[in-house]
Amino acid sequence: MSWLAAIGRYVIECVRALGHHAFFFWELLRTLPVSLKRPYFSVVQVHALGNLSLLVILSSGLAVGFVLALQTYYALVTYGAADSVGLVVNLSLVRELGPVVTALLFAGRAGTSLTAEIGLMKAGEQLAAMELMAVDPKSRVLAPRFIGGVIAMPILALLFSAVGILGAYLVGVQLIGLDPGNFWSAMENGVDVKRDLGNGIIKSIVFGVICSFVAVYQGYEAKATPEGVARATTRTVVISSLSVLAMDFLLTALMFSTR
Amino acid sequence: MNRKGTEALVGFFVLLGIAALVFLSLKAANLSSFSGGETYTLTAKFDNIGGLKVRSPVRSAGVTVGRVTSIALDPKTYQGVVTLDMQKSVLFPNDSSARILTSGLLGDQYVGLEAGPGEKNFAAGDTIKQTQSAIVLESLISQFLFSKAADAGATPAPAPAPPAAGGKK
């Protein structure tokens, strides 16, 4: 019968962790107005999370654009619909791949650096020292990083989509030889700014909140040992990725349902 | 990194994002196609709007001159009431006719406007009187079958056959 108790213990532990996450999120939101009084800290974080991720995001965007154009061309050319390559690539990027792949890359690159940084601060007792000096570590350390992540994510997702479309143009028009006029005009007619681009931006903002919050939480709650920090870093990537993918399904079902 | 450098880099990053947004909206989406110019509203009533959707184009001679802004059902006459947003630069005579056509064989449906021979133009808020509904495939097929049956019934020889066929069933 002890396995029954074990299941109960596990479920109670999950619910407790969920509640702890919610409390932490509420504390973080409460410190946002205070931390916005010193915007320079958030600006530094936007630089650390956004600017320094540009290389990985732009090169991934270009590569994804190349591959998408090739694959859609191979699939569409049998139906004589090769002129729709631009439209299909644009819709895939702007609606889905831009926000989701950027969020996964962001979680891997920026999320892990956030978690490691905060975890090491905790291991080096810097956060405890701040509390002793009556400096709230949540508003001084955590909130700027959260704000930086939320600001950087949508911009990175837009850049990913834009570079992906340019990459598709390079492969489709320059390499394969599709007609550039049809390429751009199919996109202009088929992509709606509010429905496709706007929903993609909303998605990337939501994913930014998820990735930044998970990274900051795992860093703050990491065990104050090197091994604890390493575990927290992997947990950040795994939890961010799974949450982003689950949330993506929910948001897509809500936003793109045929009314 | 000093303060000025960081702020400049972040500013550059945000500008890059705005440039990406502008590129995506203008070149890769339909923002530019109808943002210029003012519009006036026209209404049209159809018996059957078929697959017409909001934001479907209104075309005359193939050129897009407007968009469908709303579709509703008139509760009194049970007709579909379609509201059109027309570009102010193009005016139509007040006996123009509207039909619902399909672009290509399986494409999206749009409202086709044909200018009539009248003198006065539509004012804002007018209703287009002459309309033709969308083609419904089932009615077309049943029309075809009935006309075929009518042709077969017109010649006298097969006249006894239908009752016998009815009896055999």
Of the pLDDT bands very low, low, confident and very high (cuts 50, 70, 90), residue A223 is very high
- Inter-chain CB proximity A154 and B6 less than 8 Å: no
ipTM of the complex: 0.82
Enter the tokens of residue B67. 């968009």
| Count of alpha carbons within 13 angstroms of residue A213, beta-carbon side | 19
| Count of alpha carbons within 13 angstroms of residue B34, beta-carbon side | 22
| Count of alpha carbons within 13 angstroms of residue B59, beta-carbon side | 13
**By three-state DSSP, how is residue B50 classified?**
coil
* pLDDT recorded at residue B32: 57
> Which residue, among A40, A155, A185, would best test binding to B if mutated, counting the most B CBs under 10 Å from its CB?
A155
* pLDDT recorded at residue B168: 46
Nearest CA to A154 among A247, A49, A255, A238?
A49
- Inter-chain CB proximity A189 and B33 less than 8 Å: yes
| Alpha-carbon gap: A67 to the closest alpha carbon of chain B (Å) | 19
- Inter-chain CB proximity A187 and B6 less than 8 Å: no
pLDDT tens, position by position, for chain B (169 residues)?
A: 578 888 999 999 999 999 999 998 887 766 655 555 688 888 898 888 888 887 788 888 888 888 888 888 988 988 889 998 888 888 888 888 898 888 776 667 888 988 888 888 888 888 888 888 888 788 888 988 999 888 888 765 544 544 444 444 4
* pLDDT recorded at residue B136: 78
CA distances (Å), origin A258, targets A195, A199, A251, A252, A254: 12, 14, 14, 11, 10
Which helix (H) or strand (E) segment is A241 a member of?
Answer: helix A226-255
The CA-to-CA distance between both ends of chain B, in Å, stands at 93
* pLDDT recorded at residue B105: 66
Q: At what angle do helices A54-76 and A143-169 cross, to 10 degrees?
A: 40
Query: Considering CB atoms only, which of A43, A54, A161 is closest to B24?
Result: A161
**Mean of all residue pLDDT scores within chain A:** 93
| DSSP result, A11-46 | HHHHHHHHHHHHHHHHHHHHHHHHHTTSHHHHHHHH
Q: pTM value?
A: 0.78
Between strands B80-87 and B97-102, the pairing is unpaired
pLDDT tens sequence across A34-83: 888 989 999 999 999 999 999 999 999 999 999 999 999 999 989 888 88
- Inter-chain CB proximity A197 and B13 less than 8 Å: no
Q: Which residues of A touch B (CB under 8 A)?
A: 40, 43-44, 46-47, 50-51, 54, 90, 94, 152, 154-156, 158-159, 161-163, 165, 184, 187-193, 196-197
* pLDDT recorded at residue A165: 95
Once rounded to an integer, what is the mean pLDDT over residues A152-170? 96
Once rounded to an integer, what is the mean pLDDT over residues A228-256? 95
Of the pLDDT bands very low, low, confident and very high (cuts 50, 70, 90), residue A134 is very high
| Count of alpha carbons within 13 angstroms of residue A94, beta-carbon side | 28
| Alpha-carbon gap: B17 to the closest alpha carbon of chain A (Å) | 5
* pLDDT recorded at residue B169: 44
Total count of residues recorded for chain A? 259
Once rounded to an integer, what is the mean pLDDT over residues A23-36? 92
pLDDT tens sequence across A87-122: 999 999 999 999 999 999 999 999 999 999 999 999
Question: Taking a C-beta distance cutoff of 8 angstroms, is the pair B67, B56 a contact?
Answer: yes
Q: Which residues of B touch A (CB under 8 A)?
A: 1, 3, 6-7, 9-10, 12-14, 16-17, 20-21, 23-25, 27-33, 55
- Inter-chain CB proximity B28 and A154 less than 8 Å: no
